[in-house]
Amino acid sequence: KAGVTQTPRYLIKTRGQQVTLSCSPISGHRSVSWYQQTPGQGLQFLFEYFSETQRNKGNFPGRFSGRQFSNSRSEMNVSTLELGDSALYLCASSPAGRGSSTNEKLFFGSGTQLSVL
Amino acid sequence: AQSVTQPDIHITVSEGASLELRCNYSYGATPYLFWYVQSPGQGLQLLLKYFSGDTLVQGIKGFEAEFKRSQSSFNLRKPSVHWSDAAEYFCAVGAYNQGGKLIFGQGTELSVKP
């Protein structure tokens, strides 16, 4: 089975631009969670989607948004980029269903490294 | 407030020596506890997890961790470290009703001396 696939692997943008990152979960997984990883703040939860609905959300400004498609692939979008948005963005998928907790088993992708200049 | 503390930012051990990585948490509900490992340029891999029951849990790659409720700790151990264990290790806490949300510690970078 293929793992979690994130594209692109690296991205360079300038301040004020917007960016879209993509995540393809493991086949059969309906939950996708997004995390931001920076040297200063560490790993922080952005949001989770399950069956095309946002189920949980972290403490990030509205510039950070996401969506999930019917095939469970997910995208996250950051608008009006700031220097502080430079980070490794990790996506994780989970096989858990509605009745169980998705954090019990998270499978992470290798991430998208975003640099904002 | 919910938080995870990993007191050691960087640890160096000799190959073949034992290892203990510390983790303390603050969490209001009954926590789920995890240890993840991250190699450079890679995502996170789950080493082990604790939900309930036996407080000593076994994981992959020869790692184990012990949950101590009275000390709010979940320390990771390995009896004999291999050079391939060099990586960054993250302790995390979650709960049943938190979905995909985990709260991570700042990580401990492990270096292994030959």
User: How many angstroms separate the CA atoms of B98 and B28, rounded?
Assistant: 13
Q: Do B43 and A33 touch (CB under 8 A)?
A: no
Amino acid residing at B47: L
Per the CB < 8 A criterion, the answer to whether B90 and B76 are in contact is no
Tell the residue number behind the tokens 């996250």, with chain if given: A76
Binding-face residues of B in 50-79 toward A, CB within 8 A: 51
Q: What is the pLDDT of residues B34-83, one digit of tens each?
A: 999 999 888 999 999 998 888 999 999 999 999 999 999 999 999 999 99
Contact B12, B21 (CB under 8 A): no
Q: How far is A39 from chain B (nearest CA, A)?
A: 9
Of all residues in chain A, the percent with pLDDT exceeding 90 is 85
Beta carbons of B100 and A42 less than 8 Å apart: no
The CA distance from A114 to A112, in Å, is: 6
By the 8 A CB rule, do B50 and B103 touch? no
| Spatial CA neighbour of B76 closest among B85, B84, B41 | B85
For strands A31-38 and A74-78, give the pairing.
unpaired
Chain-chain contact of B98 with A56 (C-beta, under 8 angstroms): yes
Q: How confident is the model at residue B95 (pLDDT cuts 50, 70, 90)?
A: confident
Alpha-carbon span A41 to A80, nearest angstrom? 20
pLDDT tens per residue across span A16-50: 999 999 999 999 999 999 999 999 999 999 999 99
Which residues, 6 or more positions from B16, have their beta carbon under 8 angstroms from its beta carbon? Answer: B80, B81
Which residue among A42, A48, A50 sits closest to B104, beta carbon to beta carbon? A42
- Tell me what pLDDT residue A98 has: 65
> Strand A74-78 to strand A64-68: parallel, antiparallel, or no bridges (unpaired)?
antiparallel
Mean pLDDT of chain B: 93
